[in-house]
Amino acid sequence: MAKRLTRIYTRSGDDGTTGLAGGERLPKDHARIEAIGAVDELNSAIGLLRAQPLGDAIDQPLEVAQHRLFDLGGELAMPGSELLTAAHARGLEQVLDRHNASLPPLDEFILPGGSETAARCHLARAICRRAERELLRLARLEPVNSASICYLNRLSDLLFVLARVLARSSGGAEVTWKRDV
């Protein structure tokens, strides 16, 4: 396999622009670049979560999600390409349903926390929601793969459910919102 990066700095972004895969340059604050950055940040947050011992039932789907997020970054870097499909979101739904089946129904809103691992998962969920908003912002300006928007929506749902599972499995408890505190 050929080496992809032989030199890390190029100085080409010193003028406030960055390059897409096809060679087009965009301002670093362009909606497309903001979406790419949010997806990258989400992938990093999931990587931080995965640095904790999670068990295969949680870690494996998160590893797959990291690969799909890299695909999504590729879609965004190559306007017009579509790497994610509805089947990817359905795969998340299957994992989500499996984990959610073991949880009691919600009686109140959940606050991020419960354990360090659950809190990391909640942080990843919040970043996922922002990545989804950035993708929607871009979709108002340019065509965006609707399957990718759906994927991020479903991934944030999965991260919420996994945070609930992690809060309970690590000896902690879910922290619920109290109206009168």
Helices 56-77 and 31-50 pack at an angle, to 10 degrees, of 160
- The tens digit of pLDDT for each residue in 88-111 reads 999 999 999 999 999 989 888 988
Asked if pLDDT for residue 163 goes beyond 60, the answer is: yes
pLDDT category at 24 given cuts 50, 70, 90 is: confident
Closest by CA to 95, choosing from 129, 57, 130, 131, is 57
φ and ψ of 79, to 5 deg: -50, 135
Q: How far apart are CA 127 and CA 44, in angstroms?
A: 10
Q: What does the pLDDT average to over 125-147? A: 97
Residue with tokens 């399957």, as numbered in its chain: 147
pLDDT category at 5 given cuts 50, 70, 90 is: low
Closest by CA to 110, choosing from 50, 63, 157, is 157
pLDDT category at 6 given cuts 50, 70, 90 is: low
111, containing H or E segment: strand 110-111
- The tens digit of pLDDT for each residue in 106-118 reads 888 988 988 899 9
pLDDT category at 23 given cuts 50, 70, 90 is: confident
pLDDT of residue 26: 76
What residues have CB less than 8 Å from 120, skipping those under 6 apart?
45, 48, 49, 52
Q: How far apart are CA 178 and CA 7, in angstroms?
A: 53
Is the pTM above the cut of 0.85? yes
Asked if pLDDT for residue 170 goes beyond 70, the answer is: no
Q: What does the pLDDT average to over 146-162? A: 98
Compute CA distances 152 → 33, 113, 121, 149, whole Å: 17, 22, 15, 5
pLDDT of residue 29: 79
Q: Give the CATH class of 29-80+110-173.
A: mainly alpha
Q: Work out the percent of the chain whose per-residue pLDDT is above 90.
A: 70
- The tens digit of pLDDT for each residue in 32-78 reads 999 999 999 999 999 999 999 999 999 999 999 999 999 999 999 99
Burial class (CB in 10 A: 0-12, 13-18, 19+), 32: buried
- Of the two residues 67 and 1, the one the predictor is more confident about is 67
